Amino acid sequence: MFSPIQDRDGEGQGFSHHVGDTVTIATPSLGALVNRVDRGDRLPPWTFGIRRWLAHQQRH
């Protein structure tokens, strides 16, 4: 299961990531995706296109 199921900030409030959280999604067959949560206006713009990203993945 990839999704958190426990309330985080209080009963009935559900789960939401907070700025500074490290989020990891992993599976043995695919590896892991690890990101740190921040506000969108503080993150660098996405400049990779899908072809560049795929080429990068094949090198690593």
The pTM assigned to this predicted structure is 0.56
Instruction: Dump pLDDT digits (tens) for 33-57.
Output: 899 999 999 988 888 788 888 888 8
Which structural domain range is residue 30 located in?
1-60
Q: What is the pLDDT of residue 2?
A: 60
Mean pLDDT across 9-14: 86
Quote the CA–CA distance of 35 and 55 in Å, as a whole number. Answer: 20
Q: What is the pLDDT of residue 32?
A: 92
Does 5 have pLDDT greater than 80? no
Q: What is the pLDDT of residue 15?
A: 84
40 φψ region: left (φ > 0), alpha (ψ -120 to 50), beta (else):
alpha
Give me the number of domains the chain comprises. 1
Q: What is the pLDDT of residue 56?
A: 82
**CB-count burial class (<10 Å; 0-12, 13-18, 19+) for 51:** exposed
